[in-house]
Structure 1
Amino acid sequence: MTISLRVAVAQPDCTARDVAANARAHAALVRRAADARVVVFPEMSLTGYELDAPALAPDDPRLAPLVEACAATGALALAGAPVGPGPGKHIGVLAVDGAGARVAYRKMFVGGAEAEHMTPGAEPAVVEVDGVRLGLAVCKDTGVPEQAARTAALGIHAYLAGVLDHADELHVQDERARRIVADHGVWVAFASFAAPTGFGFADAGGRSRIWAPDGRVVAAAGPRPGDLAIHTIECAG
């Protein structure tokens, strides 16, 4: 039996620390990708790459436009944000649908300035949508074979990540995606930040992509905020 899932990788515009404005930008892209069942957003997409931004609670009322867009389209949005709880703060992935939001994953491998502000997550995570199992990651995670292996060991059809790279570093995303495909034989989708953002990323590269299990790029967004790409992934059920 073959199961399929329509997946989008999206590049919202971003205003530093303005969760309300950013949630509206996310909601607009969810509505534009109306036939996508899952919409993946970049690392820290709801606040910008502002490592000193406060943790965002899943029940924050500023997320209401995104929840409403997911309710209207039937989509699950995977959005990036700093999250709690506890004394440590994490780079997280919020899973948002028509019923609300929850923390679905905390980035396991932090680096550079992140280590001064963020606590690493402890374990890999999977979300399941319509029978398709989606492994989660954030940026540096994608370059750590251990993270991909532990995630794949949970039984996944696809590996989804929100990422952030300079425009001249996009080849790194391609190298990492092709390694994950080769090692684990799964679909890979990276949502890549396109808007200028904090901590030196004035030239975020965009060009979000989806790779098939044979290594081909089957969908690609452009370099600008507001761009997105959509593809139906098909998996053995």
Structure 2
Amino acid sequence: MTGAASILRVAAGQPALVGDLDSTVAAHAAMIRAAASDLIVFPELSLTGYRFDAALVDVLRDRAVLRPLIDACADVHGIALVGAPVGGPSIATVQVDADGLRIAYRKVNLGAGEAQHFQRGAGPAVIDVHGWRVGLAICRDTGIEQHTRELTALGIDVYACGVVHHRNELDEQERRAQHIATSAKVPVVLASFAGPTGEGYADTAGQSSIWAEDGSVIGRAGEEPGEFTTAILRRQVPADRRTHRSRSLH
């Protein structure tokens, strides 16, 4: 893509769910600054936890509360993808950058329990990050072949998703990420919830990860809240082109 950056610094993070929105926003903002990436991806419903009864987040009404996210993105010149329940109601990916916040994607493929509380989104979505086309997905989307095909057909350079899985579902989380990377032939940035949350998810998988298009892991966080991993994606260079690191933020 003409004018696109030759490298993209990406991160997948699993911030601690502190309890109240102000504190959880602060935890996200601290991780944005620590990761210092062009793009950082957070888990499904990362701002509220995976709870069907959580108060909806309004990107206009709650702008003052969410302001630390905007300021953190401005400081690192990056974009954050945070998870939140929004008007609709929908399970959404909210894009944050120095200019503010917007709803970038609404989850299309809802689980049975989710469908009783939320509306499905209209379809796949892509955002631009420094000239890289980033396709968006949320949790169950990652296991739906049609969604992956439709998203890939839009022309993407990176696949970014936020998920919540039980710890005993880690193998499935890994299988999906690897399959998407190799079938879509793009890197995958997967942010997985860590720590206890609602709706029966007392023991979540964590281990947020970044995958190369050949299906190899190039970045992985651990199981605990407060951890993140980063990688550098490069265009048109050999397969060993990427570097990665993992860190904790407690």
Report the TM-score when normalising by structure 2: 0.90
Q: Which residue of 1 aligns with 2:213?
A: 213
Give RMSD over aligned pairs.
1.5
- The residue type equivalent to 2:14 in the other structure is Q
| Equivalent-residue separation in structure 2 for 1:14 and 1:235 (angstroms) | 35
1:67 and 2:73 equivalent? Answer: no
3-state SS of 1:113 partner = helix
Q: Which residue of 1 aligns with 2:55?
A: 54
Identify which of 26, 29, 32 aligns with 1:27. Answer: 29
Report percent identity of matched pairs. 46
Q: Which residue of 2 aligns with 1:173?
A: 173
1:126 and 2:129 equivalent? Answer: no
Residues 51-60 or 167-176, more deviating: 51-60
- Pairwise CA distance, 1:98: 1.4
- Pairwise CA distance, 1:236: 4.8
Equivalenced residue count is 232
User: Any stretches of 5+ residues in structure 1 without a counterpart?
Assistant: none
| Equivalent-residue separation in structure 2 for 1:126 and 1:235 (angstroms) | 19
| Equivalent-residue separation in structure 2 for 1:21 and 1:67 (angstroms) | 15
Aligned pairs for 1:100-111 (under 5 A) are 100-111=100-111
Aligned pairs for 1:82-121 (under 5 A) are 82-84=85-87, 88-121=88-121
3-state SS of 1:117 partner = coil
Specify whether residues 124 and 236 from structure 1 end up closer, same or farther in structure 2 by C-alpha distance, changes over 3 A only.
farther
Q: Which residue of 2 aligns with 1:39?
A: 40
Aligned pairs for 1:174-189 (under 5 A) are 174-189=174-189
Specify whether residues 51 and 204 from structure 1 end up closer, same or farther in structure 2 by C-alpha distance, changes over 3 A only.
same
| Equivalent-residue separation in structure 1 for 2:190 and 2:89 (angstroms) | 23
| Equivalent-residue separation in structure 1 for 2:196 and 2:70 (angstroms) | 25
Q: Which residue of 2 aligns with 1:12?
A: 15
- Pairwise CA distance, 1:112: 2.6
- The residue type equivalent to 2:179 in the other structure is R
**What do residues 19-47 of structure 1 show as CA deviations (whole Å, max 9, x unaligned)?**
2111101001001112x110100000001
Q: Which residue of 1 aligns with 2:244?
A: none
3-state SS of 1:101 partner = strand
- Pairwise CA distance, 1:76: 0.4
- Pairwise CA distance, 1:205: 1.3
3-state SS of 1:159 partner = strand
**What do residues 63-104 of structure 1 show as CA deviations (whole Å, max 9, x unaligned)?**
0111111111111000000012xxx31000000011111000
Report the TM-score when normalising by structure 1: 0.94
| Equivalent-residue separation in structure 2 for 1:183 and 1:30 (angstroms) | 30
Q: Which runs of 4+ in 1 moved over 4 A?
A: none
- Pairwise CA distance, 1:3: 2.2
| Equivalent-residue separation in structure 1 for 2:28 and 2:181 (angstroms) | 28
- The residue type equivalent to 2:21 in the other structure is V
- Pairwise CA distance, 1:125: 0.5
| Equivalent-residue separation in structure 1 for 2:54 and 2:15 (angstroms) | 18
Specify whether residues 63 and 219 from structure 1 end up closer, same or farther in structure 2 by C-alpha distance, changes over 3 A only.
same
| Equivalent-residue separation in structure 1 for 2:93 and 2:32 (angstroms) | 16
Q: Which residue of 2 aligns with 1:157?
A: 157
**What do residues 125-154 of structure 1 show as CA deviations (whole Å, max 9, x unaligned)?**
011111111000000000001111111111
